[in-house]
Amino acid sequence: MRTLLSILLFFALLAGAAAAYHIFLASNISHKRVSIKIPTGSHYAQVLAILKEKKVLEDEFSFEIVSKLKKYPEHINSGYYVFRKGMNNRQIVNILLYGWQTPVKLVIYNIRTKEDFAGLVSRSLEIDSANLLRKLNSETFCESYGSDTNNILTHFMVDNYEFYWNVSLNAFLAKMKTAYNNFWNEERRAKANGLNKTPAQITTLASIVEREVIFDKEMPTVAGVYLNRLRIGMPLQADPTLVFAMRDFGARRITNYHKDFDSPYNTYLYPGLPPGPICMPKKKSIDAVLNAEVHPYLYFCANPDMSGYSIFSKSYQEQMKVAAQYQKKLNKMNIH
């Protein structure tokens, strides 16, 4: 009888061990890689709904047992979490319980407006685009940066960043400010001073230069043209500023319709730099302005051979000859 009880106890312990192994240590993810986003303020029921919607778990019941034993329902952490194939319930719950997030990439590129910027950020991070846009349009906020609502984007650098998905708006802005300060070191500020320009003015000019060229190697030359014009009080007459003024970003050709549009961004009508940048320029574009080529050119026009390069001229007469050939080419190509 005693032997029989021992055998039964052995099998009971074996069954318990097997059950414990299944609950705690057996794989509960069969996908190669699966990720979830838990919004700030979520409750346990919402987390379960997210896990179910994303089909994260093979066995939800065993996961719930472990999560409740480890008191996860009382310690929900928002964030972006990635799980790998073969993870067991203990590993899954620990990741969620201790908030072991996987950072996300924020790649800032091709930004023309504050709305573009706020939208890009909100697509990558939990930050609400409306809240960010409200900041960028706030005179008080912009003044704290020594800026205004027109040129506040000059304080944000095009780059690849890494954040936790649920980063707060203030923490996001602080990191972006650090990136700005790291870029605008003493050397760059000294070069800007040497051109009698502020970092915001250099960035604004860089945004125009970037939109003017196809090939990066022309940027210092084009920057030199614009600096020459600014030096003598000549209007910049930069076509990309007209596109920005009218938000006509699909324009294939600049016409008098654009040139006559009244806007402080119309550099045909108003001399000097526009109130702010017409895009968020790359770092190399800013450096191209800081290291602008010194030359006597006041004009440039796209090469009529349509190679993408420019022809630079010292006089208005030379410029008009090239421009006439270029316009003729556009007509022949039926570009209006």
How does pLDDT run across 139-177, given as a tens digit for each residue? 999 999 999 999 999 999 999 999 999 999 999 999 999
How does pLDDT run across 234-271, given as a tens digit for each residue? 999 999 999 999 999 988 888 889 999 999 999 999 99
How does pLDDT run across 74-111, given as a tens digit for each residue? 999 999 999 998 889 999 999 999 999 999 999 999 99
Cβ proximity of 96 and 265 under 8 Å? no
What is the spatial distance between Cα 65 and Cα 61, in angstroms, rounded to a whole number? 6
> The tokens of 21 are what?
């192994």
| Mean pLDDT value across residues 216-239 | 97
What is the spatial distance between Cα 251 and Cα 245, in angstroms, rounded to a whole number? 12
Residue 170: how many other CB atoms lie within 10 Å: 9
Q: What is the dihedral of CA 288, 289, 295, 297, to 10 degrees?
A: 110
What residue segments make up the domains of the chain, in order of their start? 10-97, 104-183, 186-295
- Tell me how far apart the 2 most distant CA atoms of the chain are, in Å: 116
- What CATH number should be reported for the domain whose range is 10-97? 3.30.1490.480
Cβ proximity of 236 and 267 under 8 Å? yes
Residue 183, C-beta contacts closer than 8 angstroms, at least 6 positions apart: 157, 283, 286
Where does 218-306 show beta strands of DSSP type E? 299-302
Percent of the chain at pLDDT exceeding 90: 79
Cβ proximity of 93 and 41 under 8 Å? no
